[in-house]
Amino acid sequence: MKRDAIIKLAMELGSSIASSEELMDVKRLQSQLQADETAFGIVMKYQANRMNIENKQRAGQSVTSEDENHMHILEQQMQNNPLVTQVMDAQDKFNNLMQAVYFAMNQSLSGGCGQDGCGGSCSGCGV
């Protein structure tokens, strides 16, 4: 297969992923999240706290129990917010789709599909 045909197939795959239900859900829920001050605030506080902890660790500073407790509280707040959990669930579903795509591509590249007990239909390997 020629390079141009491969690139065309990659573009088609990208377009298919872009119009997938999984990605549409992520985008829709992220927009809702950004419009919800409470949910968005929780996520921003969590990200800032996580970054603060990572910066301390990189600088060789110890993470205090207060830092860890604050992180645990923020994690609980995120888990208790229905919109935040919907966004995380949607992101997980999209990530699973992408992992399946990468897996299928790797299997095709390595000649794994249809060999060594796979059966060729990919039903046995979860794709």
Q: State the pLDDT at residue 124.
A: 56
Mean pLDDT of 58-62: 95
The pLDDT tens digits of the residues spanning 19-35 come to 999 999 999 999 999 99
Residue 121, domain member (yes or no): no
Residue 58 phi, psi dihedral angles, 5° rounding: -65, -35
Residue 124, domain member (yes or no): no
Q: Would you say residue 127 has pLDDT above 60?
A: no
Select from 81, 78, 17 the least CA-distant residue to 50: 78
Residue 82, domain member (yes or no): yes
Q: Give the Cα separation of 125 and 127 in Å (integer).
A: 6
Residue 36, domain member (yes or no): yes
Q: Would you say residue 118 has pLDDT above 60?
A: no
Residue 116, domain member (yes or no): no
Distances from the Cα of 16 to the Cα of 1, 23, 52, 57, 101, angstroms: 21, 10, 38, 40, 11
Amino acid in position 95: N
Domain count across the chain: 1
Helix/strand number for the chain, H first, E second: 5, 0
pTM of this prediction? Answer: 0.77
Q: State the pLDDT at residue 112.
A: 73
Q: State the pLDDT at residue 74.
A: 97
Please give the full DSSP string across 12-61, using - where no structure is assigned.
HHHHHHHTSHHHHHHHHHHHHHHH-HHHHHHHHHHHHHHHHHHHHHHTTP
- What is the extent of the structural domain holding 84? 3-110
Select from 41, 33, 31 the least CA-distant residue to 83: 33
Q: Give the Cα separation of 20 and 96 in Å (integer).
A: 12
The per-residue pLDDT of the chain, averaged, comes to 91
The CATH number given to whatever domain includes residue 57 is 1.20.1500.10
Mean pLDDT of 85-101: 98
Using a pLDDT cut of 70, give the percent of the chain over it. 88
Q: Would you say residue 126 has pLDDT above 60?
A: no
